[in-house]
Each structure stands twice: as C-alpha cells, then as structure tokens.
Amino acid sequence: MAAPAEKAVTYYTLEEIQKHNSSKSTWLIIHYKVYDLTKFLEEHPGGEEVLREQAGGDATENFEDVGHSTDAREMSQSYIIGELHPETLITTLNSNSSWWTNWLIPAISALVVAMMYRMYIAED
C-alpha cells in the first residue's frame, strides 16, 4: 500500500532564492514561504516595481505594510513554490544570539575585570 499522502515541501536556501532577483525569474519570501512571482509581475495591481525591488529577498514586512486583502492573500497561495529551508532560519537565529553571547558578554566581563583591577591597583 502507498504511504499516506504527505505533501512534499521543497525547501530553498537563502542563497538559492537570492539568485532569482531579476525579471527573468522573480522569487520572494513572505512569511518563510517562497513565491515565484515571475508570471505575476505584470498582473500585480500594486505594480511590477515594488515586487522587483524585493526580488530574491524577504518581502514579508512590505507585503504586510500594504495590508493586502483576503483576495490578494488567497491569490498569493498559487505562487508558492516552497519554503525557506529550516537550516537557514537556524543559522539566522544562531548568528543573532552568538553576537550577544560571543561578543557582548565577554566584552562587558573584560571591562568589569579591567575596572576591578584598576581599583585594586589604586588601593595599593
């Protein structure tokens, strides 16, 4: 018997998506989903230009700022070709937290130690 129908999801890395930043191939990320809007450019009521500007990148904020209608959101579903690769997200999250843990906290600790040392020296 066939395995239960599981909708296969294609995952794309940021690197891959970034290549599709021209009018020949226009991909966008909205809410971690990847959209191929190449054929939609000319049909977009909001114009081609705004989509081109975001091509190959994350358009979530701009998409939400416009306050797209329910119709627009339904329409967008048919252009989904996959999702942002989970590893891409993990890398992004890790690189954010590592900035704090790897740089800021040791830097502050070093500063505190240096100040304590100065105070200790001054007491002598």
Please give the residue ranges that form the binding site for ligand HEM (CB under 6 A): 28, 35, 37, 44-46, 50-51, 54, 59, 62-63, 66, 68-69, 71-72, 75-76, 79
| Tokens of residue 65, six digits | 């700022």
Cβ distance to ligand HEM smaller for residue 12 or 35: 35
Identify which of residues 17 and 28 has a Cβ nearer to ligand HEM in the complex: 28
Q: Closest approach of Cβ 31 to ligand HEM, in Å?
A: 11
Q: How far apart are CA 46 and CA 31, in angstroms?
A: 19
Let me know: does 7 contact 82? Beta carbons within 8 Å. Answer: no
- Residue whose CB is less far from ligand HEM, 76 or 88: 76
54 vs 88 by CB, closer to ligand HEM: 54
Closest CB 37 distance from ligand HEM, rounded Å: 6
Q: Distance between CA 47 and CA 26 in Å, rounded?
A: 14
CA 57, CA 42: separation in Å to the nearest integer?
Answer: 19
Query: How many Å apart are CA 59 and CA 31, to the nearest integer?
Result: 8
The distance of closest approach from Cβ of residue 59 to ligand HEM in the complex, given in angstroms and rounded to an integer, is 4
Closest CB 39 distance from ligand HEM, rounded Å: 11
Question: What's the CA gap between 114 and 119, in Å, rounded?
Answer: 9
